Amino acid sequence: DTEVTQTPKHLVMGMTNKKSLKCEQHMGHRAMYWYKQKAKKPPELMFVYSYEKLSINESVPSRFSPECPNSSLLNLHLHALQPEDSALYLCASSQETQGLHYGYTFGSGTRLTVV
Amino acid sequence: GNSVTQMEGPVTLSEEAFLTINCTYTATGYPSLFWYVQYPGEGLQLLLKATKADDKGSNKGFEATYRKETTSFHLEKGSVQVSDSAVYFCALTAPGGTSYGKLTFGQGTILTVHP
């Protein structure tokens, strides 16, 4: 299995809703990442987990809450989002934290719309 | 800090034309360099990579050579196809410091290939 699987593929939520994005990989990668991508822009890093511990939080608002229950699974819990949070949310994994030699494997993303 | 600069697009070519997308970088230490491709409505796919100076990455007819003296990693393809239409991102990871675990992207280049 050489994939990163993200669910759901599309999500529409109201500003008072609570929802979660899920990411799963079975490649034995020990680093997992959340990125946010707005249209026609490069992805922006949100969080990095290394060996199931949060190692980087790029000053992301607390309405985004990451969780890494085990080495294969990464969640992003969403609460009280704003319309400007609408974007493509990408999960990625790498064999080691910096992905220096093997690169990063990205999922196909969850397209989130906040109404 | 680390940065990646890509040629501005969009780039429009006819099928079988030669493609060059320029990429230059600034980084501390010895970065690894990547080209990612994003097809419409999809996540990012690793196209090719190079981890040290003079390395040539290649995949699906695309090539890029890690040039330390000119801090460049230009993407080339001898004969493009309509199916190559996508957004191309140059990116790097660099060891240590505050960039630990972070993939730095260029702004992306939109490529459109016409029959």
Over the stretch B39-89, which tens digit does the pLDDT of each residue have? 988 899 999 999 999 999 999 999 999 999 999 999 999 999 999 999 999
Is residue B32 a contact partner of residue B87, using CB atoms and an 8 Å limit?
Answer: no
Q: Give residue B9's pLDDT.
A: 84
CA distance B55 to A112: 38
Q: Give residue B101's pLDDT.
A: 62
SS in 3 state form for B18-87? CEEECEEEECCCCCEEEEEEECCCCCEEEEEEECCCCCEEEECCEEEECECCCCECCEEECCCCHHHCEE
CA distance B34 to B7: 15
Of B42, B77, B34, B1, residue with least CA distance to A3: B42
**Residue B29 — pLDDT band, cuts 50, 70, 90?**
confident
**Residue B18 — pLDDT band, cuts 50, 70, 90?**
very high
Look at B100 and A55 and tell me if their CB atoms are within 8 Å. yes
CA of A29: how far to CAs of A51, B7, B39, in Å? 9, 33, 24
With CA atoms as reference, the chain B residue closest to A30 would be: B101
- What mean pLDDT do residues B23-28 have? 92
A45 interfaces chain B, CB cutoff of 8 Å: yes
Is residue B46 a contact partner of residue A104, using CB atoms and an 8 Å limit?
Answer: yes
Residues 62 through 91 of chain A touching chain B, CB cutoff 8 Å: 88, 90
Mean pLDDT score of chain B, rounded to an integer? Answer: 92
pLDDT along chain A (115 residues), means of 10: 91 95 94 94 93 92 96 96 97 79 88 96
Mean pLDDT score of chain A, rounded to an integer? Answer: 92
CB atoms within 10 A of CB B14: 10
Q: Give residue B100's pLDDT.
A: 60
The residue whose two tokens read 């993407």 is B75
Give A98 to chain B, closest Cα distance, Å.
4
